[in-house]
Amino acid sequence: MSIDTTLQQIYDLPLSASIRESVNAFPLLESLHVVGLAVVFGTILIVDLRLVGVASHRREASRLIRELLPYTWIAFVLAVLTGIGMFMSNALSYAANTYFLLKMVALMVAGLNMAWFHSTAYRRISEWDETLPPPRAARFAGFTSLLTWMVVIFLGRWIGFTLEMVW
Amino acid sequence: MSMTSFSDWLYATQFSTALRETTWVIPNLQTIHIIAIAVVIGSAIATELRMAGIFATDRPLPDVLHRYLPWMKWALVVLLLTGALLVIAEPGRTLNNTLFWIKMALVAGASLVTLRARRSLVLATAGGSSAITVPEASRGLSWLMLLVWCAIIFCGRFIAYA
């Protein structure tokens, strides 16, 4: 199988081996991953709550989104990089783990939801920028985002309890 | 009673055994714990960076604090409860662990600054003085607070490996 060959090649990379064999690398990656995801979910939560209709520290939704998004993206990059590091160390195990695969699906759902929001309600944000509660489409996107990211965290935590190591 | 004998006693209790042996309990408690961590971190970023003078500087400080401090308080309560259950489930790996106690000290310090010092800034303005400004000198404290919250996350993750 070509996928298994690729996964084996990732597993065999010197970087993967050093993460696997180091005592501190994995917990370090995990800690940075938690810092990253906490900033991602923490800042998204502020935006999502505003979209759902909870008043925030400013009234204009567009400005709230713009001032928080840079933090979300930087932290997301950190979470992805550390996530890749953990994946590399045991690529075959992760690829065979149901929770990991479901987590990737959940991340895609979160991305699609964001894309959908940006191509619909966000385009007309000037019409509802200071309106509380926001229109139904924005509330729906906010609620879906909240739920999806919590599912991502749930699935992520379960990976650690179900991963079967391939040595 | 020493900490070791206390944790041995706790480990042997029915409640601890039940938590530990019900497979879904610990992962789900940890999931709730992480979601609450995200609430604390998100709120800390908004409030501390506001006080550091780089976030939402056009908004009055009390408004920003007022928005996030209650969330922080309740998230800390959730963290305390889920954390306590995790300790009861696995007392040996926590109570006999230096990193765990360092984490508790940092949590106590950071919570105290957040829920007392930061809150007092909201209360001060409720009394009438509307234009509250944060002294330049306290900006370092804001960065320190963010650093401490990150250090707490590191301690939490490393407890499992110590």
Q: Do A67 and B56 touch (CB under 8 A)?
A: yes
Quote the pLDDT of residue A145.
97
Tokens of B109: 């310090």
What's the pLDDT tens digit per position in B94-144? Answer: 999 999 999 999 999 999 999 887 777 776 666 555 555 666 668 889 999
Task: Please provide the average confidence, as pLDDT, over all residues in chain B.
Answer: 90
Best residue in B26, B31, B103 to probe A by mutation, most A CBs within 10 Å?
B31
What's the pLDDT tens digit per position in A42-60? Answer: 999 999 999 999 999 999 9
Instruction: Specify the range with the lowest mean pLDDT, choosing from A63-67, A153-157, B33-37, B136-140.
Output: B136-140
Min Cα–Cα distance to chain B from A74, Å: 13
Quote the pLDDT of residue B132.
57
Tokens of A84: 């890749």
- Provide the angle, in degrees to the nearest 10, between the axes of the packed helices A25-52 and A14-21: 100
Q: Do B45 and A37 touch (CB under 8 A)?
A: no
Tokens of B70: 């209650």
Mean of pLDDT values over A134-161: 97
Nearest Cβ partner of A157 from B30, B45, B68?
B30
Closest by alpha carbon to B28, among A86, A76, A87, A99? A99
Confidence of residue A2 (pLDDT cuts 50, 70, 90): confident
Domain map (residue ranges) of chain B:
3-159
Nearest C-alpha in B relative to A55: B67
Instruction: Specify the range with the lowest mean pLDDT, choosing from A131-135, A162-166, B9-13, B83-87.
Output: A162-166
Quote the pLDDT of residue B139.
85
Nearest Cβ partner of B46 from A40, A46, A154?
A46
State the CB neighbour count (10 A cutoff) for residue B92.
12
Tokens of B33: 């714990």
- Provide the angle, in degrees to the nearest 10, between the axes of the packed helices A98-119 and A136-162: 160
Best residue in A23, A29, A35, A44 to probe B by mutation, most B CBs within 10 Å?
A35
Domain map (residue ranges) of chain A:
2-162
Distances (CA, A) of B76 to A59, A109, B70, B83: 27, 29, 10, 10
Mean of pLDDT values over A88-105: 96
Quote the pLDDT of residue B128.
54
Q: What is the dihedral of CA A88, A102, A41, A86, to 10 degrees?
A: -10
Task: Please provide the average confidence, as pLDDT, over all residues in chain A.
Answer: 95
What's the pLDDT tens digit per position in B57-67? Answer: 999 988 999 99
Quote the pLDDT of residue B133.
62
Residue A158: pLDDT over 80: yes
Beta carbons within 8 Å of A153's beta carbon, 6+ residues apart: A37, A41, B31, B34, B35, B38
- Quote the CA–CA distance of B18 and B1 in Å, as a whole number: 24
Residue A31: pLDDT over 80: yes
What's the pLDDT tens digit per position in A101-124? Answer: 999 999 999 999 999 999 999 999
What's the pLDDT tens digit per position in B65-88? Answer: 999 999 999 999 999 999 999 999
Tokens of B26: 């610990």
Residue B45: its chain A contacts at CB < 8 A?
Answer: 39, 42-43, 71
- Quote the CA–CA distance of B48 and B148 in Å, as a whole number: 12
Min Cα–Cα distance to chain A from B133, Å: 17
Residue B106: its chain A contacts at CB < 8 A?
Answer: none
Give me the amino acid identity at B92. G
Q: Do B157 and A58 touch (CB under 8 A)?
A: no
Angle A22-A18-A74 (CA atoms, 0-180°, nearest 5)?
A: 90
- How would DSSP label each residue in B49-84? HHHTTSSSTTS-HHHHHHHHHHHHHHHHHHHHHHHH
Residues in chain B: 162
Quote the pLDDT of residue B122.
72
Quote the pLDDT of residue A89.
95
Q: Do A67 and B45 touch (CB under 8 A)?
A: no
Any A CB within 8 A of B36 CB? no
Nearest C-alpha in B relative to A150: B35
